[in-house]
Amino acid sequence: MSGLSLKGAQEIIEGAIAKANQLGIKITVAVVDGSGHLLQLTRMDGAGWGGIDLLVGKAYTAVAFRADTEMTARWMGADAPQAMAAVEASHGKIVPAKGGLVIKEGNDVIGGIGVGGGRGEEDLECARAGLERYTSSKK
């Protein structure tokens, strides 16, 4: 396993921002490494700054649960007290909301993506576009 490089993080962010431009929205994108530590954060000109901790949390959550945050939100949504306990125990680092994707190399988790600034579906579209750009560059 080679892990996620800064160049890889930049490719992800470029892909996510290209999709945001297509959708006409302003986003912030966070990429974390396989341990959930921030590798790169980019905020588009004009994007809000209020949700930065939340979108970093989306990326962290994807790594922590080894699953996309949409799935994590479904798991936790079935048990609201458990979800609140997870958020509380993580000091707010767990964010089960759309827009967080896990990055895998084979079966190994090498990072996570968190996008914020649009509606949940738009955040997810941008994250997917970033992941797609990264995976296509690896071929």
Q: pLDDT tens-digit profile of 45-80?
A: 999 887 888 899 999 999 998 999 888 877 777 566
Angle among Cα 62, 136, 37 to the nearest 5 degrees reads 30
Compute the distance between CA of residue 11 and CA of residue 121 in angstroms, rounded to an integer: 21
Residue 79 lies in a domain: yes
Which residue matches tokens 């190994």? 108
- Hey, which bits of 35-106 come out as E strands? 38-43, 100-105
- Please name every residue paired with 112 in a beta bridge, in sequence order, or none if there are none: 32, 102
- Say whether 90 sits in a helix, a strand or coil: coil
Per-residue pLDDT band for 37 (boundaries 50, 70, 90) equals very high
CATH number of the domain to which 54 belongs: 3.30.450.150
**How much is the pTM?**
0.90
Residue 1 lies in a domain: no
Domain that holds residue 127: 6-137
Residue 47 is given by DSSP the state -
Average pLDDT of the chain, as a whole number = 90
- Hey, which bits of 44-127 come out as E strands? 100-105, 108-116
pLDDT above 90: residue 93:
no
Compute the distance between CA of residue 120 and CA of residue 70 in angstroms, rounded to an integer: 9
Count how many domains the chain has: 1
